[in-house]
Amino acid sequence: MVSGRIPRPSYGRVYEEGRSVANKYLVMYYREDPLPVRLGIVASKRLGKACVRNRVKRRITECFRHVLPLIEPRGEFVFIARQRAALCSYQELLGAATDLLKRMDLLE
RNA sequence: UAAGCAGGCUAGGUAGUCGCGGGCGGCCUUGGGCCGCCUGAGGAAAGUCCGGGCUCCACAGGGCAGGGCGCUGGGUAACGCCCAGCAAGGGUGACCUUAGGGAAAGUGCCACAGAAACAUACCGCCUCUGCCAUGCGGUCCCCGCUUUGCCGGAGGCAUGCCCAGCCUCUUGGUAAUCCGAGCGGGAAAUCGCGGGCAGCGGUAAGGGUGAAAUGGUAGUGUAAGAGACUACCGGCAGUCGGGUGACCGGCUGGCCAGGCAAACCCCGCCCGGAGCAAGGCCGAAUAGAGGGGUGAUGACGUGGCCCGCCGAGCCCCUGGGUAUGGCCGCUUGAGGGAAAGGGUAACCUUUCUCCCAGAUAGAUGACUACCCUCGACAGAACCCGGCUUAUAGGCCUACUUACCGU
RNA sequence: CGGGCCGUGGCGCAGUUUGGGAGCGCGCUUGAAUGGGGUUCAAGAGGUCGCAGGUUCAAAUCCUGUCGGCCCGA
């Protein structure tokens, strides 16, 4: 994949220095820097069992991969899945992700 | 056909595009990247409830403590698992359920109720003794009243025979203050039955209580009773037969012993501890942090000694380099499939064949088309054998019950 | 991976060791008292003891399985 992952100690830095937007499925943090794009996904235990959490993480990864050619590839992105994300379809999740990126003015 | 019962199998498929983990090959190439091919979650991967393998530590042997298991015989590396059977309970049945050793080794508990919860006796029943009250009935005797009576004979009811009783008849005898019967009364004796109180005993039939009261039902028996005795049922002991065994069947004796050990316990068997973050290798590195001990012909306290303090070197201990430095362990294994043989089965043996995830924040998703029943529960983390739990459906086999048809 | 604790009325808890009555405080309802409210007093309602099965005459309590929550260690 073009994007790397965010190491665990960097999450606090993204929460402190980045900006956030949210809707009913996802919360997105974005921290701008000149380095290549990196992605972090948070799927807490509240979502469900291991199988459900893995499915949500895969779907978010796929969403991000889908929109990646349309945005400027730098900075750190953190997506936090809310409880409703475990029940929705991939299409709803993709709509939620593009909505958040538009509101962050990263996507037309 | 419907309902049910038991067991087994399966867990959407096909094609295409993009994306991800691993392996192999090639190329560029230090780190790394690109291309091609192959491969890539489950029946429960889950819960972590048991049992093992593996690794390290400990360990002469034995015992105590602690924990687990508990019908019998097999299977297995082992098990609390599996198979086959036995017993008990449930179901019309197929079949299901069962932690199912020991209650005369000991301790403990059995609330309330009840006399009493395991050793006894409240009410009751009965014998005997003592005391107190004396009642009722029968026999005999006496008195009064009433009555044609009494003793016979024949016949009938009535039947193979006889007797008592009753009815009819009179050709018998006897008597008229007798005799017999009935009613009423009286007194002594005698016999039988009975009341109250107290006491020594017998009894466990009955009453009542309870979840449970010392075998159950019927009879004999007895002062009243009781397995005291008898029959059937139940249980125990002995013995014989069958079975490897749990156990089953027969015969004989004989009725004494409540329940709870998922209460302590006894008996038999088993169990060392920790866990892949186990454990090992490499680099930084013969670097260096902290503490303790020892401590030089040492330094300081004006010189020496004692003493105090500092202290090179040596020895010991502890911590750090983030569970996230890298690598190994890491997937060839009590492995899968097929065939043959043994065994009722679980399972075992032999031969052939296959390689089938190894990630390290953790890889399987998205889109398109078609088909069907429109797809549930759910994601490996050292590896196996089980158990338990979750689960949309679909398929197969054997069997039971009910109804219909032939 | 290993270990421990908890689940009882709406809320917080006791009772579980040693099995027999399901309780305490706050809250709720009704009534009294006050012009009204609060306080106070009196009365009352409300619980499948997380769930399922078993042992027992009898289970919140004992045993087994299971579900959910919390905590600790490496």
Predicted ipTM of the assembly: 0.80
Residue pLDDT, tens place only, A2-48: 456 666 666 777 777 888 888 888 888 888 877 777 788 888 777 77
A87 touches strand B (CB under 7 A): no
The H or E element spanning position A53 is helix A50-67
Please give the angle made by the CA atoms of A72, A86 and A83, to the nearest 5 degrees.
90
The H or E element spanning position A15 is helix A11-17
Task: Flag whether the pTM goes above 0.80.
Answer: no
A5 touches strand B (CB under 7 A): yes
Classify domain A4-102 at the CATH topology level. Answer: Ribosomal Protein S5; domain 2 (3.30.230)
Nucleotide lying nearest to A51, CA to C1' measure: B379
Task: Please indicate whether residue A8 or residue A50 has the higher confidence score (pLDDT).
Answer: A50
Please, which positions of strand B sit below 7 A from a protein CB? 19-20, 41, 45, 324, 361-367, 378-380
